[in-house]
């Protein structure tokens, strides 16, 4: 693999920096707002159902999450979800947008080693402004040749990215925490993928089936990739 790879792509959220715990914290605050109406587990399930229904309209990211919280509240509370209540939901979303960027262990050191020998890119989903903001705050921009904020991570999206990069699948390696988004589509293309598990995952991204593939690496942390490429 070392001799083939020329381009290495990194997912951002929960691969380079912490993300999902902040969303879970926001969801907990949202459930607390509705605790007089329904149990937290029911509110969470209703919110997830709303998110899935609207995913094709809003895409991924905080802004879509905020709109789904508002819609969920209206569905649960009816006319009681007035302007003051909506304002509280907006505050939850704005707080989420202003969370600090906390890099995961080993990220700067790994990028510093790899960027000297490979073309590094970010390939991540989410809201454009939010992801650009986080990347700027992270201090990691200097390591990347290209930043791709993707509307989704399906085979067609990766094909478009590879075409833009003028890169063949056999020369491409993707690192990420989501088997569903970062691993399966890349392997289907004939490229290489490295899975770096994160301790918590959004329900929509969970993939429970065991996966074995000759082009797949299972890493305990991001710096493990150096064992294969250095």
Tens of pLDDT along 9-26? 999 999 999 999 999 999
Q: Where are the alpha helices (DSSP H) in the chain?
A: 20-33, 40-58, 62-77, 83-97, 107-114, 128-138, 155-165, 184-188, 226-229
* Sequential pLDDT tens for the chain (230 residues): 678 999 999 999 999 999 999 999 999 999 999 999 999 999 999 999 999 999 889 988 899 999 999 999 999 999 888 999 999 999 999 999 999 999 999 999 999 999 999 999 999 988 888 999 999 999 999 999 999 999 889 999 999 999 999 999 999 999 999 988 999 999 999 999 999 988 766 454 555 667 788 899 999 999 999 999 87
Which contacts of 169-173 are long-range, i.e. CB under 8 A and separated by 24 or more positions?
170/4, 171/4, 171/5, 171/6, 171/7, 172/5, 172/6, 172/7, 172/8, 172/9, 173/1, 173/5, 173/7, 173/8, 173/9
The per-residue pLDDT for 158 is 96
Q: Does the global pTM surpass 0.95?
A: no
The per-residue pLDDT for 85 is 94
What's the CA angle centered on 114, arms 121 and 13, to 5 degrees? 45
The per-residue pLDDT for 72 is 97
List the domain boundaries for the chain.
7-17+104-229, 20-97
What CATH number is given for 7-17+104-229 in this structure? 3.40.50.1000
CATH class of the domain defined by 20-97: mainly alpha
- From CA 70, how far away is CA 105, in angstroms rounded? 35
- Chain-centre distance for alpha carbon 28: 19
Alpha-carbon distances of 81 from 63, 71, 76, rounded to whole Å? 19, 10, 9
The per-residue pLDDT for 206 is 53
The per-residue pLDDT for 209 is 67
């Amino acid at each position: 693999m070392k001799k083939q790879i020329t381009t290495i792509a990194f997912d951002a959220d929960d691969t380079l920096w912490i993300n999902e715990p902040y969303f879970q914290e926001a969801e907990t605050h949202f459930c607390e707002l509705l605790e007089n109406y329904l149990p937290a587990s029911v509110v969470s399930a209703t919110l997830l159902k709303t998110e899935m229904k609207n995913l094709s309209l809003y895409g991924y990211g905080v802004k879509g999450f905020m709109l789904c919280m508002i819609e969920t509240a209206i569905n649960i509370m009816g006319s009681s979800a007035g302007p003051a209540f909506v304002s509280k939901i907006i505050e939850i979303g704005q707080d989420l947008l202003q969370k600090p960027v906390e890099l995961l262990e080993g990220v700067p050191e790994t990028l510093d080693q790899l960027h000297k020998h490979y073309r590094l890119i970010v390939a991540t989903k989410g809201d454009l402004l939010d992801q650009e903001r986080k990347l700027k705050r992270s201090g990691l921009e200097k390591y990347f040749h290209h930043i791709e904020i993707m509307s989704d991570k399906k085979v067609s999206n990766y094909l478009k990215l590879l075409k833009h990069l003028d890169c063949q699948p056999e020369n491409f390696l993707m690192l990420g925490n989501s088997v569903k988004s970062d691993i399966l589509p890349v392997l289907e293309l004939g490229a290489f993928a490295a899975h770096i598990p994160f301790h918590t995952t959004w329900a929509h991204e969970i993939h429970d089936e065991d996966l074995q593939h000759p082009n797949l690496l299972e890493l305990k942390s991001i710096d493990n990739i150096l064992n294969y490429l250095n």
